[in-house]
Amino acid sequence: MSFGLCSICNDEIIYKEDYFSAKCVNCGKKEESYIICSNGHYLCKECAAKEVMDKLYEILPLIDLKNPLDVAEKIIGKCGISGHTPHPITAAAFLLAIKNTTNHITMDDVLEGVSRSYEIPGGWCGYYGACGSAIALGVCFSVLLNATPTADKERSIANIVTARGLLEVADMGGPYCCVGSIRAVLEKGIELAKSNLGVVFPEKQINHKKCWAASFQPNCKKERCRFYDLEALQKEA
């Protein structure tokens, strides 16, 4: 299920209001879900994400960019998006940028954030009222601050970061766009890294005048999205 379309037939994805029993067309796993394609194809979380995640793990050690937005654009461009992969992609982009900028964390730390964020299911933005990319940003700060359920300030900061990320996504309006959510959440993450971690990232190098993902996103909000036409927004400013 890539960019809101079925990975099997490239047709529309249907988001139902109630749980139903589904069987993965790839591995045969049976589970409950809200999401299926209009032709009845269903992929379990692991099968839907496998190709993207395999590429992600392969490319991470090769990226030397230092701005989270640049890292995210590179990852999405090389790996694509499928299933719930926007969540681990958000964590990978932010933590790898931290690593490349400060050298204060290791690749193992980056992978820890990716692993935790991988556990955030798809569709949570609508079904559970919490965008997985925003939660993934909170995961990043949890990893960076070594937060645990019994921690004091560290736990609070991680939750505040998630809340700020969620507000960014909510303010964008719906319907969902995972690329837009990743960008908005990482913009907020850059701001929060400075105020909470003292980390200042270099200016981003990858600048798109128009959103390249718009043509792939069936739910594109177009002019309602601040990432849709940056050139027009700059002229208005």
Q: Report pLDDT digits (tens) over 118-131.
A: 999 999 999 999 99
Which value, in Å, is the radius of gyration of the alpha carbons in the chain?
17
**Gap between the Cα atoms of 112 and 153, Å rounded:** 21
Tell me the C-alpha distance between 137 and 24, whole Å: 29
Mean pLDDT along residues 186-213? 95
Checking if the pLDDT of 230 tops 90, the result is no
- pLDDT class for 152, splitting at 50, 70, 90? very high
* pTM recorded for the entire structure: 0.94
Peptide bond just before 202 cis, omega within 30 deg: no
In angstroms, the Cα distances linking 56 to 31, 131, 236 are 26, 21, 37
